[in-house]
Amino acid sequence: MRVAHTEADVNLMARMMRAEAEGEGRLGMLMVGNVIVNRLKANCLDFKELRSVRDVIYHVQGGNYSFEAVQKGNLFYSPAREVEKKLARQTLKYWRQQPSKYSLWYFNPYGECPPTWYNQPFTGRYKLHCYYEPIANTCEGAYRY
């Protein structure tokens, strides 16, 4: 298992995965879930001292929630469906795949993906989201599991 979790964590993560990537299908939601797990495991850069799925979801950076859906997402505040819970469990237990495999950031640029984001390299795109992973020597925790 990648991350110890409760059923409340599964529900919260499932809601975020749907809110951020429902339009990108199951694989897109898995990739968002992977970034959530990566942020929890990394303990570096902007993601220090995050100890639970809840900490990651409600993390504030620069005065705003890290995930836009927390403040703007109607889908985030709807109950999770079983399909999303299954995807969340899959990500919490074992799932990883490029371009999100080691990514700590993703966003939808409404155009081409820039070569870096927060000074970290682009690792790939899936549908509308661009994924970025930390430079290895700046965040060993992102690569240690």
Q: Which CATH number is 7-143's, of 1.25.40.10, 3.30.200.20, 1.10.10.2520, 3.40.1010.10? A: 1.10.10.2520
Indicate the domain borders of the chain: 7-143
| pTM score, whole prediction | 0.96
Distance CA 116, CA 109 (A): 12
pLDDT tens for each residue of 12-51: 999 999 999 999 999 999 999 999 999 999 999 999 999 9
d(CA 82, CA 125): 27
Query: What are the tens digits of pLDDT across the range 119-136?
Result: 999 999 999 999 999 998
pLDDT number for residue 42: 94
Q: How far apart are CA 95 and CA 1, in angstroms?
A: 10
Mean pLDDT of 99-112: 95
Q: Count the neighbouring beta carbons within 10 Å of the beta carbon of residue 7.
A: 9
